[in-house]
Amino acid sequence: MATGNPLGDWAQKPFRDWYEAMEQQAAEATEQLVSGSAFAELLGLTAGNFAALTRISGETCDLMLRNMRLAGRSDVTRLGRQLARTEDKLERVLQEVEDLRDQLADGAAGEGAGT
């Protein structure tokens, strides 16, 4: 049993021709629109506005977090710097402890050999 259009192919041809003509006109109009310098300016302004909106939304989220007493990006960054400084200080203290331990071991070895 045929599953095609009951009216046959002749009924689809006018619609197909009309659709192809409309598609061609739309393609030409779009090509004409995009080829102008105004489109490039509009695209540049849109990109600038998008970047500004992104920055504003980020600042708004940070402000909301700060008002809710939650840590924002700046707080996390500041805490990260403090943590790095603390780790550096602990590393220096560990080096000093190891140096003192070596000095004590050398002193104990020197006293033990002298008696």
Over the stretch 37-96, which tens digit does the pLDDT of each residue have? 888 899 999 999 999 999 999 999 988 888 888 877 888 999 999 999 999 999 999 999
pLDDT at 108: 81
Q: What is the SS3 string spanning the chain?
A: CCCCCCCCHHHHHHHHHHHHHHHHHHHHHHHHHHHCHHHHHHHHHHHHHHHHHHHHHHHHHHHHHHHCCCCCHHHHHHHHHHHHHHHHHHHHHHHHHHHHHHHHHHHHHHHHHHC
Q: pTM to 2 decimals?
A: 0.42
pLDDT at 7: 60
Whether 35 has a pLDDT exceeding 60, the answer reads yes
